[in-house]
Structure 1
Amino acid sequence: MARPSVAEERRQQIIDAAIRTIGTHGITGATLDRIAEEAGMSRGHVRHFVGNRDELLVETARRFYFDGPDEDSILPSGTNSVAGAIDFLFGDEFTEPGNANAVVFGLIEASRTNPAIAQILVRAYSGVETKLGELIAEEHPAVSDLERKQAAYAIVSMALHNVFMNDIEQSDDRTDAARDAALALWGALARSSEGA
């Protein structure tokens, strides 16, 4: 296997530093100087390898949300059931407050003024709805398109609300209740399709 180029290694080093800096200092505190310091490079090197701050933030968002260029969802690759998607969306990796959530909130703030970041976030989160809809259709083909879209939207909304609240006040009980609500919605939809 070919070794990545030095330029690509430096770009990844800078993007990793940007993610850590946003997680620590927020989006407004993620200056090129702070990111350069975190990366152990000069500001000039950062600009050489990734361009200006806006270009760096766009590439940071892309790599934060997607491992590969063909991905369209934040669900882990290999998620092949509605239950698996719910397990992820209400599991520790997704719901734990911390630096990853701080990065998400920072990128949401940046998306208000940077359309390229907004497109990445829309792709990431609407991709979850699309993937959930596909999984629902595979598991229960009798579910109507409207019901499938509504259920996918509701499950993603519950998951994001739970993450938002957990970042303010962590509560395993709230997460359990949100997960139970998502499973109840899924169960009711599955039962109604079986009776159709």
Structure 2
Amino acid sequence: MGRPSKKAERTEQILQALQRCVARYGLEGSTLERISEEAGLQRSLVRHFAGNRTELVTQLADRVIERSDKQWSEFISYLPEQDITSALLNGLFTEDHSDAEFVLVIESLIFAAGQDEPLRKQMQAWMSRFTNDMKFILLRDNPSADDEHLNAIAFGLVSIYFNLDSLAPLNMSAQYRPSARRAAELLVNTLIPATK
């Protein structure tokens, strides 16, 4: 098998640098100068290998969503048949599965989607898949739960998950991780029917 092309290598190097910059400075603060400095390449090479800023953002969104979908699918495939909700919460709220940089990049893309219709559609589809998957995971342990309640709980879990890692720049994620997990448990426990 041959070596990867120089373009593929450089594009990957640039996209990794862009992702680090977006996590640190947000999408707006991730200038070509910062990206080229982070990648260790001249600005002209960044443009040559990865394109203009719009093309970079598109490639970043594609890359992040592809990575997210792959990791999420792998995570779902390892969930047990029984007590799936507990395993889900462990996966969402333990330090081992936390990736603050990734969450900050996703949040930056979501924010930027307000001004970019194709990006908005892409991020809407991604968020819908994530939330719907969460709902169907919860449904496995709670087959009699009504659809509206499942939708609300799934969205609540997604919201707590993203909010927790968004605190990374404040160095407060670890401090609030147990509370986030407990809030998620309390939310999920509303699915358990009360016994008479």
Are residues 123 and 94 of structure 1, via their aligned partners in 2, closer, same or farther at CA, if it must alter by over 3 Å? farther
The residue correspondences of 1:1-196 to structure 2 (distance < 5 A) are 3-67=3-67, 71=69, 75=72, 77-79=74-76, 80=79, 81-92=84-95, 99-165=101-167, 167-168=169-170, 170=172, 172=174, 174-189=176-191, 191-192=192-193
Equivalent AA in structure 2 for residue 184 of structure 1: L
Are residues 172 and 58 of structure 1, via their aligned partners in 2, closer, same or farther at CA, if it must alter by over 3 Å? same
TM superposition score normalised by structure 2: 0.77
Equivalent AA in structure 1 for residue 38 of structure 2: E
TM superposition score normalised by structure 1: 0.77
> Is the contact made by 1:58 and 1:116 (CA closer than 8 Å) also made in structure 2?
no
Structure 2 residues without counterparts, runs of 5 or longer:
none
Q: Distance in 2 between matches of 1:121 and 1:94?
A: 22
Runs of 4+, deviation exceeding 6 Å: none
Post-superposition shift, 1:145? 1.9
Q: Distance in 1 between matches of 2:8 and 2:147?
A: 43
Are residues 91 and 55 of structure 1, via their aligned partners in 2, closer, same or farther at CA, if it must alter by over 3 Å? same
**How many residue pairs were aligned?**
189
> Is the contact made by 2:110 and 2:120 (CA closer than 8 Å) also made in structure 1?
yes
Q: Distance in 2 between matches of 1:92 and 1:121?
A: 25
Q: Distance in 2 between matches of 1:123 and 1:40?
A: 34
Post-superposition shift, 1:142? 1.9
Moved more, 127-136 or 41-50: 41-50
Instruction: Find the residue that maps to 1:162 and give its secondary structure.
Output: helix
Post-superposition shift, 1:94? 6.2
Post-superposition shift, 1:90? 1.9
Equivalent AA in structure 2 for residue 39 of structure 1: A
> Is the contact made by 2:104 and 2:165 (CA closer than 8 Å) also made in structure 1?
no
Q: Distance in 2 between matches of 1:118 and 1:183?
A: 31
Equivalent AA in structure 2 for residue 52 of structure 1: N
Identity %: 27
> Is the contact made by 1:155 and 1:182 (CA closer than 8 Å) also made in structure 2?
yes
Are residues 15 and 169 of structure 1, via their aligned partners in 2, closer, same or farther at CA, if it must alter by over 3 Å? closer
Q: Deviations over 1:78-108 (max 9, x none)?
A: 32333233223222256675x4454344333
Post-superposition shift, 1:126? 2.8
> Is the contact made by 1:96 and 1:167 (CA closer than 8 Å) also made in structure 2?
no
Q: Distance in 2 between matches of 1:126 and 1:185?
A: 20
Equivalent AA in structure 1 for residue 127 of structure 2: Y
Cα RMSD for the two superposed structures: 3.0
